[in-house]
């Protein structure tokens, strides 16, 4: 099997800077490719001035550098360790530079090795699996409104417009200890499946059924462009990032 990879990012209509960062990593070395497969990462930074951009870029770079070293650890263990190292790197930079104090970022990383799929996740960026036109969210948001929805104090529709929707309960670089969600996805991948990673600038404006319908399009680049355009047409208040990876025969 092979993966077809595409991505798009946009500053949106109300932000001056794009604090989203992403990476798609596939090693040329056959041995490393066999060991690690393909890595996708998206991060949505936060902090004053340029701090959000620095946090997200540092997180993405650290995850790629850490995961891209072959050892005996399985993909899910290596991926979780990579995000933990990103947390340490962002936190250390924040503490060393007063102007960057308090910066942090979401981080959602997916590793594909053959049909095996592993995830490591912190924050409210998301990963979806689209199969036969139906989408399934693979991550859970670490946010205040997600907790309120889980406790049935808000409905999903109310959560979309709640003024607290950007309040995160977990982020890379914030706090001494970080709990990283993830592991191997049961069942793995099938031919024709599409993985979608995106920041909340997309999924906060575009419903899950719309994400699945557009993400299932044959032309993946056109799908990315249409998803970004749809978020912009609905106000584009935040940076918008989407990554698509399709399993081809």
- Asked if 208 and 140 count as a contact pair (C-beta separation under 8 A), the reply is no
Q: What does the pLDDT read at residue 45?
A: 97
Q: What are 158-197's pLDDT values in tens digits? A: 888 888 888 999 999 999 999 999 999 999 999 999 999 9
For 167-185, give one letter per residue: b (16+ CB within 10 A) or e: ebebbbbbeeebebbbbbb
Q: Evaluate whether the domain defined by 2-136+169-248 bears CATH number 3.60.40.10.
A: yes
Q: How confident is the model at residue 49 (pLDDT cuts 50, 70, 90)?
A: low
Q: Is the pLDDT of residue 48 over 80?
A: no
Q: Is the pLDDT of residue 239 over 70?
A: yes
Q: How confident is the model at residue 1 (pLDDT cuts 50, 70, 90)?
A: confident
Give the pLDDT mean for 113-132: 97
Q: What does the pLDDT read at residue 77?
A: 97
In degrees, to the nearest 5, what angle opens at C-alpha 168 toward C-alphas 230 and 159? 50
- Asked if 127 and 119 count as a contact pair (C-beta separation under 8 A), the reply is yes
Of 248, 207, 202, 185, residue with least CA distance to 42: 202
- Read off the pTM: 0.95
> What is the torsional sign of CA 56, 117, 119, 126?
positive
Give the pLDDT mean for 134-155: 93
Give the pLDDT mean for 16-45: 95
Give the pLDDT mean for 124-145: 96
Residue 133 CB: number of other CB atoms within 10 A? 11
3-state secondary structure of 151: coil
Rg (CA), the chain: 17
Q: Where are the domains of the chain?
A: 2-136+169-248
**Which residue bears the tokens 């991948």?**
189
Exposure of 239 in the CB half-sphere (CA atoms within 13 A): 22
Q: What does the pLDDT read at residue 78?
A: 97
User: Percent of the chain scored above 90 by pLDDT?
Assistant: 89
């Amino acid at each position: 099997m092979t993966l077809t990879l595409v991505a798009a990012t946009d500053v949106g209509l109300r932000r001056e800077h794009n604090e989203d960062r992403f990476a798609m990593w596939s090693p040329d070395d056959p041995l490393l490719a066999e060991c690690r497969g393909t890595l996708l990462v998206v991060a949505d930074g936060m902090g004053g001035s340029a701090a959000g951009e620095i946090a997200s870029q540092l997180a993405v770079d650290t995850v790629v550098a850490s995961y891209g070293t072959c050892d005996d650890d399985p993909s899910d263990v290596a991926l979780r360790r990579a995000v933990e190292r990103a947390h340490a790197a962002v936190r250390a930079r924040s503490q060393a530079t007063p102007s960057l104090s308090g910066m942090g970022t979401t981080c959602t990383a997916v590793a594909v090795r053959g049909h095996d799929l592993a995830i490591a996740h912190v924050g409210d960026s998301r990963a979806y699996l689209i199969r036969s036109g139906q989408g399934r969210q693979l991550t859970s948001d670490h946010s205040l409104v997600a907790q309120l929805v889980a406790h049935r104090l808000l409905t999903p529709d109310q959560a979309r417009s709640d003024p607290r929707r950007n309040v995160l309960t977990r982020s890379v670089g914030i706090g001494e200890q970080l709990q990283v969600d993830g592991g191997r996805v049961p069942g793995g991948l099938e031919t024709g499946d599409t993985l979608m990673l995106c920041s909340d600038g997309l999924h906060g404006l575009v419903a899950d059924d719309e994400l699945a319908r557009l993400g299932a399009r044959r032309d993946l680049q056109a799908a990315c462009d249409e998803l970004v355009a749809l978020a912009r047409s609905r106000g584009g208040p935040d940076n918008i990032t989407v990554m698509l990876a399709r399993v081809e025969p």
